[in-house]
Every structure is written in structure tokens, then in C-alpha cells.
Chain A
């Protein structure tokens, strides 16, 4: 049995294409049968946003892009339709625009406990589908507990920010790579894919990464 490919995925909890991309990548994995070990890396799309942002996502987009609220609402309706094609029920009427640094800190705790994949899915569903507030400590405690994390450990970690350096390291690595947008996928630390590509594209990327791995292994064997 071959070793799984490593896949690092830079993304943010409040990135609508990241959840869509997650579903498409899952489809690709099912279609290809490829084995992978996924690590979610932190990327904050709006680190200057206050935890308790006083407005709707339409307000936020309107302010950020200098467009009308009606235009922002149209954009969100469009992405809601695209998400629905992947089986996701985005509900922007109840989304709480917020700061996601604590959610990223929690994802690093979950990684150490072997629960990162479960928490990533929980946070995305909570934010986009269930109107949960993923910027507040007690909400994060509840969501982390849902996937099996210890509530007291969550409170302690989010109070002393022991995983903030890991979040910042991911951000710095993204900058070093030249990553300016998410989702961004890196296969075996060598091949990059930008955006919520189609499952077919992800299947091709997985095949190319596997081929590169096998070629490297064959080369190493030939020189051994």
C-alpha cells in the first residue's frame, strides 16, 4: 500500500468558495480513490474585522467593495446557488460576519488532537448554514465540543492564545509562497492548485502529484 499524498489546504472559515471547494475536493477523492493526509492551514481573509461586527454580510461587502447593498445581496444569492449545486445550504440572512482568528487557533488545537477535519467541517457548516457565531469563545467551545474536543482545554487555549503563533506561521508561509487567495491546495509540498476547481481538475492534480511521488521514489531506488 502506497503512502498517502500530503495535501495542505489554506482556507478561511468565512470563505464561501472554500466550503464549495471542500465538497469538490471530496468528490475528487471519492472518484480517484487516492489516499491523502490533509492539513488545513490558516488564512484570514479579513483580519481587521471586529468579532462583533455590527452589520450583515451585505453591509460588509458593500463597505469593502464600494458597491450597493443590493449588488452585494445579488452576489451572495449567486454564490448561494453555486453552493446548492454542491449540496450546501448557505443562509446569508443569518451569517455573522466576524473575526476568525480564534477559529483558526481552535483548528490548530484540533489538529493536535486528531480532530481537525471534523472541526473544519463543523465550523464551515456552523458559519454558512446554521447562523452560528464562529468568532465568540463560548460558541467555539460548543462547536469544538461537538467534535470531541475538551471544553476546558478549548477555553484555556483560546484564553492564552497558545496556537496563535501557529496561525501566524501558516499566514507567513502563505505569503512566502505568494498565496493571495483561498482555497489554495499544495500537494506533497510541491504542486499547487488555486481555487475551488472542478472535481475533474482535482482528480488530475492528484494523479500528477502521485506520478511525481512515484517518479521520485523510483529515482531514489535507482540510486540506492
Chain B
């Protein structure tokens, strides 16, 4: 593996190896000194064209826990404001000598282009509504730590699937590991054509409550609630929100996940987000370990294929 751009390119064995590797790094994070010298002298460049808090911080934390240096680029107040192209920015950063680039961009395929232009290993940290592979891997890693093998796991993903790179990546990772995935969304927020997806769909969250082992909620962008793709936020919550009442209808062991940032009171009730079923903070901590595993794999020449 020279770059991590998409979940589609990974086999079940690739994903399982990455989960195994992340498990080792997760233990490092629990030590008194949560740092190893594995990548001393390596530099990880973070090229983030979209606003990001947790993903960028998580990659930074992961790189530093491996003793790598980081070189962070954010477009606000930079040469991008002066009209520099993505290619020139990528080549400029490359000239500063990083060993790997982490790229987030609003356009589908941008990380592929950066990989072509620079010849460096690239980790896709989110391209448009296309892929977010480290999110998907940290999600299945988090579930795997809690539950073991995911074969036969019943998962529902609820929310704006159409515009979500998380939904695309995480559903693929779950399906690859043998889980059964149901997408729950208004028709206006489902992808138009699901023939390639190997998933089921449901028309409201009530249809799946009693029948899932994990319910994965996606952020609803508030600006979409003005009659653009659904009539109002209240009507969305009425059919798709995980309210406290609905959470009580979940089976006793069912888990709740969310990639963040959350809209409390919209897709998820605050009490559910903070309750015992919630894996939300586990996802954040596990994300660091998983990203350590990815950086290690790409920069040490070992690990997943």
C-alpha cells in the first residue's frame, strides 16, 4: 500500500491487519508517556482545504505520538487566497520535503491528483462527498474493540447519505467485514442509484430501531432544513431523529455512533449522545490510534499490503 485513498481498494484482510495494528497503538496511548520513536525524522504534511477540527488534530496527534514532525497548511490567509492552484500548492509543499501528505479537499478525487503530481504517499482525509477512509477504519476499529468480529452485525446509517463521504466509506468497510447495512434517510438525501452498494434502505428510523446492533447517525446540515431537501428541521427530527424515546426502543446492547460534529437535539438527543450506548468519544480516541497505524504502514514499509 503506497497511499490510502479509498476503502474500495482494501480487502477484508487489509482492514483486519489495520485494526490489529491500531490495537497495538491504542495501548501506547494509554501509557504514562504516550509516545514512541517509530517515525523519528519523518515529516507528515497536512494539506487541509476544508475546515476541520477533529480530523486534523487527530492526524497531528497521531504523527506526534509516533515522533514524526508535522507541516500544516490551511488555506485561510495563505497563497490560496492569492489564487494559487491546488497543483502549485501541492508542489510547493512537496519541495519542503515531507514524506507523506494528508489531504482534505472539497472536490472528489483531489487526493488522487495530489498523489499523481507529487509522487508522495497520500492519505485521503476526506474528498468531497466521496471517501473518508480513516474515518471508516476508525469506526470499524471502534466496533471491533467492543464487539470482536463484525460478521452478521446489523448496522443502520441514518441521515444525509447523499452528501456524506463518511456514509460511503463506513458502509463499504462494514460490508467488507460482513456486516449488514441499512441506510435510513429521506429520499432526497439517499444516493440516486444504490445498485453498487450492497445495502438495504428504510424510510424512517422507527423501522430499524428494534432490529439493529449499532445505529450510526450523520450530521444534518442545518442550512438544508429550509425546504431545500426536507421541509424543516422539526419534520426531520420527527421521522429520523434519535430521540430519547426512540433510544429506549433499541435493544439492550445496541450501540450509538456519530462521526461528529453533532447537532444535539437534531439527529441525536443530548442524553443519548452522552449516554452509556454512545461510542462517540471512543471514536475520537481510537481515531488517533488508527491514524498512527495508517501513518506507520505507509512510512515504515510494513503493515497492510
- The answer to whether A binds B is no
A-to-B contact residues, CB < 8 Å: none
B-side interface residues toward A, CB under 8 Å?
none
